[in-house]
Amino acid sequence: MKAIQFSRYGGPEVLDTVEIDPPHPGPGELRIKVCAAGVNPSDWKRREGQYRAFEEVGFPSGVGVEASGIVDEVGPGVASTFVGDAVFGYGRATMAEHAILTHWVHKPDDLPFEIAGGLPVISETAWRSLDELGVQAGETLLVSDAAGGIGSAVIQLARIRGITTIGTASPQKHDYLKNLGAIPTTYGPGLADRVRPLAPEGIDAALDVAGSGIIPELIALTGDPTRVLSVADFAAEEYGARFSHGPPKEPERVLADVARLYSMGQFRLHIERSFPLEQTAEAQTISAAGRVTGKLIISP
Ligand SMILES: NC(=O)c1ccc[n+]([C@@H]2O[C@H](COP(=O)([O-])OP(=O)(O)OC[C@H]3O[C@@H](n4cnc5c(N)ncnc54)[C@H](OP(=O)(O)O)[C@@H]3O)[C@@H](O)[C@H]2O)c1
């Protein structure tokens, strides 16, 4: 089968399309014929060696942590999922024609494979962040980087929980944010002055998805560092704010709930662009440029 691999840390040029034997699932795992795999910033951060301090990559390494597809082999001990089932979830080396999933749920018929393959990371991160922030119905949440994958999921899950969201994005994306249910504003200098009139009763909590060095500003806006959480700024804890990271918590429950919300028409995912497997390097380059609206997908 074709798969994307890299054998040293580096830029997108270290990614190769290789021909390898399909993997076999271990206990509690299954293998899918991949229909769609979501591109995440962690893919190119791992490739660049940004995670070396806490996670060494074994070479050659596959790419990709999430996918949708059709089950074509079931590992020992797996119950309730069978060859031929349509599923989506977390896995390893998902940018390949076949990949192993470690946590999955069945895909509803009305959820397209292309969207399902991009849901796991963004929806679990958004869900976990809202839970850890403890933001409640009736409160107002400020989200930086609201138009990317995680931000788009946060806005919608917050709306469903009765939370008002103010999201930052560049002006051309403000209609996109409004359609998801957020009050848009721009990022950059003067954020507090722009946000205060949008939230006359104050900002109750802030979620930093951009990791652009605004934690002190978010703490000033909420008035409480414990009500500021980042998923992208490792320095957050130096200011008394919190940092949220994986591994995913209760991924099957979150994925099942998000699939249900999708079927109910309450949750959407904008796919900015889909790429064939061989263009994974181009997709990662676009992701690393930091301008993606919604999600990029690889469709082998
Ligand atoms: N800790 C965790 O558990 C966890 C899990 C998953 C991901 N992450 C991290 O979360 C971050 C976001 O991931 P993602 O998949 O949502 O990224 P993404 O989809 O690639 O984000 C792209 C968006 O970022 C916006 N953006 C860029 N600079 C910005 C700024 N300074 N302020 C506000 N928006 C800005 C862009 O909007 P404009 O075009 O308008 O600039 C674009 O729409 C990444 O750093 C990722 O590694 C963390």
Would you state the pLDDT for residue 90? 98
Using an 8 Å Cβ cutoff, are 6 and 47 in contact? yes
Give me the number of domains the chain comprises. 2
Would you state the pLDDT for residue 43? 98
243 lines ligand 1 (CB under 6 A): no
**Same domain, residue pair 112 and 215:** no
The CA distances from residue 24 to 7, 67, 100, 112, 227, in Å, are: 21, 16, 7, 26, 44
207 lines ligand 1 (CB under 6 A): no
**Same domain, residue pair 106 and 139:** no
| 252 within domain boundaries | no
Would you state the pLDDT for residue 202? 96
Would you state the pLDDT for residue 298? 98
| Distance in Å, CA 13 to ligand 1 centroid | 23
Structural domain for 87, as ranges: 2-119+269-298
169 lines ligand 1 (CB under 6 A): yes
**Same domain, residue pair 149 and 90:** no
**Same domain, residue pair 113 and 127:** no
The CA distances from residue 294 to 38, 137, 190, 239, in Å, are: 11, 25, 26, 30
**Same domain, residue pair 115 and 126:** no
173 lines ligand 1 (CB under 6 A): yes
| 257 within domain boundaries | no
- CATH assignment of the domain containing 20: 3.90.180.10
269 lines ligand 1 (CB under 6 A): no
Regions in the chain scoring below 50 on pLDDT = none
Condensed to tens digits (0 to 9), the pLDDT of residues 12-43 reads 999 999 999 999 999 999 999 999 999 999 99
**Same domain, residue pair 130 and 233:** yes
Domain boundary (243, 261, 287) is at 243
Q: How many residues does the chain have?
A: 300
- CATH assignment of the domain containing 208: 3.40.50.720
The angle formed by the CA atoms of residues 127, 39 and 162, to the nearest 5 degrees, is 20
| First-residue to last-residue Cα distance in the chain | 10
12 lines ligand 1 (CB under 6 A): no
170 lines ligand 1 (CB under 6 A): yes
Domain boundary (243, 259, 287) is at 243
Cβ partners under 8 Å of residue 292, min gap 6 = 148, 149, 272, 286
287 Cα nearest atom in ligand 1: 20
Using an 8 Å Cβ cutoff, are 113 and 66 in contact? no
Kindly report the protein residue whose alpha carbon is nearest to atom 33 of ligand 1.
145
Percent of the chain with pLDDT over 70: 100
Kindly report the protein residue whose alpha carbon is nearest to atom 25 of ligand 1.
145
**Same domain, residue pair 61 and 108:** yes
